[in-house]
Structure 1
Amino acid sequence: MGMHSFHLVRAPLGQAAGALLRAPSAPGLRHIEVLAGMELGAPVVSPRRMRVRHLAVFAEWADEDALAAFLTERPFGRTLAEGWHVRLAFLRRWGTLSELAHLPETAARTDPAEPVVAVTVARMRLPELPRFLHWGRPVERQVRDHPETTLALAAMRPVRTVATFSVWTSARAMTGMVFGRGEGPTARLHHEAMAERDRRDFHREFTTMRFRPLSEHGAWDGRSAIVPGLRPGA
């Protein structure tokens, strides 16, 4: 099935803009999403809402050797190697993105006590953008401020693609948030937003995926060891 990775890096403006406009290619690179990072919960009109130089990159690889070669041999890969990334084993998906439709719905069992990484990628229906922002921004803050997330962010590529990425201390904590099992006035925000999406979809395509973290590399915003219990790699 291959493997996946998620990267965060501050890139030179020209290189970042070029990668957003035209995704890179390489041997063994099956799919890549290059997006501009956003601060979860930031105002809609704000420089924090789309930071072009702060790239978030999600990719699928034939194997770990293909990723390693990209990070050492390709100019964009060498830029990514200067940031932070986590290597991932696919576990489950909900929904479908055409480029990732080959992934099975379930590849392996999830240990409820183990850390997990969640990645969502969606292609927006632009007329639904006001509804999406109305329902989505409170959920962004819910995930960002959840005591069991160690890193949570959003990203976008104009004009239709949006994504989220979050690292959770356990699968149990993540699913508890998704199904609104917590306490307090914000506990059911995600659950209610998903019900609204089911009523009238915000997206043309949407998938949310769960991964087991394999290794962590580099640092982001001065932080390393972001994934609980995972020793940083070389």
Structure 2
Amino acid sequence: MRLHSFHLARVPLHTAVRALLRPPAAPGLRRMEVLAGMELGAPVLSPKRMRIRHLAVFAEWDDEAALDAFLAERPLGRRLAAGWHVRLEFRRRWGAVRELAHLPEEAGRTDPAEPVVAVTLARMRLPELARFIRWGRPVERQVRDHPETTLALAAMRPLRTVSTFSVWTSARAMTGMVFGRDGGGAGRRHRDAMAERDRRDFHREFTTLRFRPLSEHGSWEGRSDHIPFR
């Protein structure tokens, strides 16, 4: 069965730079996005804005055996195995990034009460970067501080690729944030940012992917229970 995974790990600087410049190939690895982690909502001019040694890796595999072999046998895989990752079953896609356009718009229904993982991936229009930061940072804080997220972060690969990753206690909570059903002014941030994007797009390509979490491995920031399995 085709599988996706998302990994977080602290690695030596030379390992991070090599992986960012040239993601590895391996049997059964369909594609891999290697990015440097960022703290959601951090000031633009801050060391928290781009943590090169904090790798965030999103990958697609032929099956679990291919992922297990990569983690056990490949140099980058062993570094990632020492961190944290979640194995994912694809559910839905909005928008399109060329490398992920093969995924169907819908692969299965989501139980509104079950936890979900959301991954966004975008290729930026560099002239729109200032607008993107202006409209995006309030949304970053909204997601980071939402009571129904258990883990939320951003990541980037210079100069054009940006991504977000978030774990939600339920699909209902996530869609409530997306469509602005949360109370107060904060509830409008995502909706207003999407309206601004529709007015003049920040990105050359953009996609949002929804997944059902299958299993959680390792720990991140001292925790090994980021996925709220029921």
Q: TM-score, normalised by structure 2?
A: 0.99
Q: Which residue of 2 aligns with 1:146?
A: 146
Q: Superposed, which structure 2 residues align to 1:43-122 within 5 Å? A: 43-122=43-122
Task: Let me know the Cα RMSD of the aligned residues.
Answer: 0.7
Shift of 1:196: 0.7
- Gaps spanning 5+ residues in structure 1: where? none
Shift of 1:229: 1.6
Q: Which residue of 1 aligns with 2:159?
A: 159
Distance 1:44 1:182 in 2: 26
Q: SS state of the match for residue 185, structure 2? A: coil
Distance 1:109 1:175 in 2: 14
- Gaps spanning 5+ residues in structure 2: where? none
Shift of 1:225: 1.0
Distance 1:134 1:21 in 2: 28
Q: Superposed, which structure 2 residues align to 1:1-234 within 5 Å? A: 2-229=2-229
Amino acid in the other structure paired with 1:95: G
Q: Which runs of 4+ in 1 moved over 6 A?
A: none
Q: Identity of aligned pairs, percent?
A: 78
Distance 2:199 2:62 in 1: 37
1:15-69 per-residue CA deviation (whole Å, 9 max, x = no partner) reads: 0110001111101100100000000000001100000000000000011110000
Q: SS state of the match for residue 48, structure 1? A: helix
Distance 1:201 1:31 in 2: 26
Distance 1:23 1:195 in 2: 34
